[in-house]
Structures are given as structure tokens and as C-alpha cells.
Amino acid sequence: MSDEQNWQAPGSNGSTPEGGPQQPPQYGQQQPQYGQYGQPQYGQYGQQPGWQQPPAGQPGWQQAYPQGGAQPAWTPPPKPGLIPLRPLTLGPLLAAPFQALRRNPRITVGSALLLQGIPSILVSVVLAGGIGLLAVRVFSGEAQDQPALRAGLVGGAILLGVLSLVISTVFSALLQGVIVGDVARESLGDKLTFRALWQLVRGRIGALIGWTLLYALAWIVAIALVVAVVVALGALGGSAGAIGAVLVGVVGGLALIPLAFWINTKLAMVPSVIVLERLPLTQAVARSWRLTTGYFWRTLGIILLVWVIVYAITRTVAIPFGLIGGLAGGVFAPTSATSADPMQEVLVTQLSVNVLSSIVTSIIGAIGSVIQTAAVALLYIDLRMRKEGLDLQLVRFVEGRQTGQDLPDPYLPQAQQPQQHQPPQPPAGWPNA
């Protein structure tokens, strides 16, 4: 019999408290601690193993090792709220955004409807109604007025599109701020009201809106440059201009795709940094760039996976309304073929169904935006846990809060956290009291 087969725990007599033969522990398995009644004892959930509070009148904490000198049992990291306070695996990262909807639906679903659903519905109604009125005017206009009416239709559509983009961007930035703050506090076990969350993110709304508008404008400019080059080459005429326009359009369009994946992933943490670390815009951009360094593909994969899940759910809900819209012309306007103005009747009917479809899609899309924003906020927390040990700061904060301590916000960088008052130290050489 080998030495490994004769192994016994230190201080044991080769048997369990029940008197049976003791089996050696498997590789990586913790040795249980046995109490006075022969039952194995393990560390309690959420407590630091191996430490106990001293009796009354004795200062300090004491390390409590079991008899025989065995090491204290391992305890999992605490989970005070939405996630366990440790670097996250794929399962919690995918499940926690949906759990956030269930844990605090007044904030998540309510904010989605208030800050994105309702504005999206209003924008859709205004956009569809404005374009419908302009289109009806074009169809009913005189032949000599058609060029001016069509130009007005194009200009009005562009103006309404820009206005809807600005409104959607502003309210999307507000939703991002509220959801990031809610996910961060839920991870610590807090369940804040909308007023408390608004107080938390109120000072960062301007930076969030500015970042979202600048980011959208930058991509609009990049796409417009490619389109302008294609139009300029096409305007030259001839085979050379046509070939050049096609090549620039294909190469430029294909080049924008990987560039979009790269830039969007590297800057995905900017809203979380703006809200939680309260950094200026330029520092927030640099901070997001540094956090994703070394974790680019993991971050990109999780963001894409969450987007695919949300997109599949949204399309599943929107498909029935698309089918209704396709049949609307024959069901709701059966006499359009014999009416005096069939195009106008079909157009009004189709716009009505499209508005209804846009309302439902906007509501589902708003909830999907909450899930995507929550996933990115959790990725930000996970990256800081992996690169900066944020999980240790969060554990200290939760434990300190349970003992009544007033601790600074753990998400703030160390340089921004208020320094706790330290008593003055005596000069060197003075006797200790």
C-alpha cells in the first residue's frame, strides 16, 4: 500500500466521528470541519472564512482555526443582489440583464416606456403623419407643381428624420443613465426608486447626451463622406467614373463594417464610465479604451450575443404586425380599386397599420434596449473586477454597510473617493501611549 493510500488528516486517528473508516479527500476538495456532535461545519454564506468576532470587551478580530490546525473551509463570494461579487462567467452575464427586469420592474420597464417607448411612439406618429401629408399633397397636386412638391417631400422627410434622430438619441441617453445606475446599485443589493436614481445620474445627463449626439454625428459624417465620394465619382461620367464609384462604394462600405465593430466595442463602456466614475467626456473615452484592452473579443462576443437574443425576440413579436400590414390594403380598403383616388385610400390605411406596428415595436424595442444597456453595464463591472479588483471593493462596501459604516461609493476611482479622517500621528521618537 502506497503513502497516498495511507494518508490521514493531521490530528486524526483514521476514522470519522461516526467511527467508520476515513476516506482521503479528492483532489481540489475541501476537508470538512467536524464539531462537537460529529456534524461537518462549513463557513456561513457571505462571511469571511476563518475569522470570528471576539467576545464582548475584547478588541479586534480573532482568527478561528478548528482543532488540529486544519485550514478554514472555503466560502463562496457574497451575492447581495443581482450578481455574485466575483468576475462573471457567461451564464450570469446573460441571465442578470433579464433578472434586472424582474427585480425592479418599476424602474426598468417603467423607464423603458417613459424614456424611450413613449418618445419613440410620438416620433413614429409624427414622422408617419408628416410624410403621409406631404405624400398626399404630391399625389393631389397639379402636374406643373410636381417638381416643387417632390422636392418639398424629400426635404420634409429629411427634416423629420433628423428631428426624430435627435429626440430618440436624447431619450436613449437618459435611459442609459438610469439603467446603468440601477444595475450598479442592484449589484450591491439596493433597490432604489426612480427619484433616487434620478438624483444619482442627474449631474451626468449633459455628458451622456453630448456623448450620444457626438457619437451618432461621427458615424453620420463617416457614412456621408463615403456617399459623397461615390456621388462625385459618378458625376464625372464615363466608364472610369462609374467603375470608380462602384469600387469606392463597395470598398468603403465593407471597410466601415469591421471599423464599426472595433470602435463600438472599444467605446461601449463610455456611458457606464460617465455615470459611475463621473469622469469628463475625453477621460471617459480613454477609460473605456483601456478597460476593453485585452478583452476585446470577449466583450464583442457577449454584446453580439445579447443583441441577437434581443433582435430575435423583437422580430418574433413584430412579425404578426408585418403580416397584418401586408393584408391591410385588401381587408380595410376593399373598394380602393374602384374608388376615385385608390392610391390615397391605400396609403392612409397602410400608414394607420404601420403606426400601430410602430407602437408595438417601440415598446418591445424599449425593453430590449434595457436588456442591452444592462448587459453592457455588467460587462463594465466585470472588466473592473478582472483588471482592478473591484470585487474586493464591493465586498468591503457590503460588509461595511452591514456594520453601519458610512463608506464612499465603491464605483468611484480611488483618486476621487473622499479620504477618511486619520488621527494625527506623533512625531518619530515619541513614546507610544
Residue 95 resides in a domain: yes
Q: Answer whether residue 274 is part of any domain.
A: no
What is the number of domains present in the chain? 1
Q: What letter represents residue 332's amino acid?
A: F
Q: Is 82 within the bounds of a domain? A: no
What span, in angstroms and rounded, lies between the C-alpha atoms of 165 and 130? Answer: 15
* pLDDT above 70: residue 150: yes
Q: What is the pLDDT of residue 327?
A: 64
pLDDT given for residue 331 in this prediction: 55
Q: What is the pLDDT of residue 413?
A: 81
Say if CB 70 and CB 33 are below 8 A apart.
Answer: yes
Separation CA 205–CA 423 (nearest Å): 38
What are the φ and ψ backbone dihedral angles of 236, each rounded to 5 degrees?
Answer: -70, -25
167/124 Cα distance (integer angstroms): 11
The answer as to whether 213 is a domain residue is: no
Amino acid 276: pLDDT: 93
Please indicate, yes or no, if residue 289 is contained in any of the structural domains.
no
The overall average pLDDT reported for the chain is 75
Of residues 374 and 326, more confidently modeled: 374
C-alpha cell at 219: 458615424
Strand pairing category for 40-41 and 33-34: antiparallel
What percentage of the chain exceeds 90 in pLDDT? 23
Would the CA dihedral through 315, 321, 324, 326 be positive or negative? negative
Q: What is the reported pLDDT for 58?
A: 47
Cell of 390: 473591484
Cα–Cα dist 240/294, whole Å: 44
- What does the radius of gyration of the chain's CA atoms come to, in whole angstroms? 31
What pLDDT, in 10s, does the model give residues 274-302? 999 999 999 999 999 999 999 999 999 99
Summarize the confidence of residues 333-340 as an average pLDDT: 49
Q: Is 251 or 122 the better-scoring residue by pLDDT?
A: 251
What are the pLDDT digits (tens) for 360-379? 777 788 888 889 999 999 99
The continuous run of DSSP H or E covering 52 comes out as strand 51-52
Q: Looking at the domain assignment, is residue 312 inside a domain?
A: yes
Residue 58: count of CB within 10 angstroms of its CB: 9
The residue that leads in pLDDT, 66 or 226, is 226
Higher model confidence: residue 89 or residue 15? 89
- Could you give the 3-state DSSP secondary structure of residue 379? helix
Averaged over 320-349, what is the pLDDT?
Answer: 56
Residue 94, in any domain of the structure: yes
Residue 302 is assigned to a structural domain of this protein: yes
Q: Looking at residue 425, what is its pLDDT? A: 52
* Structural domain harbouring 134: 90-206+295-399
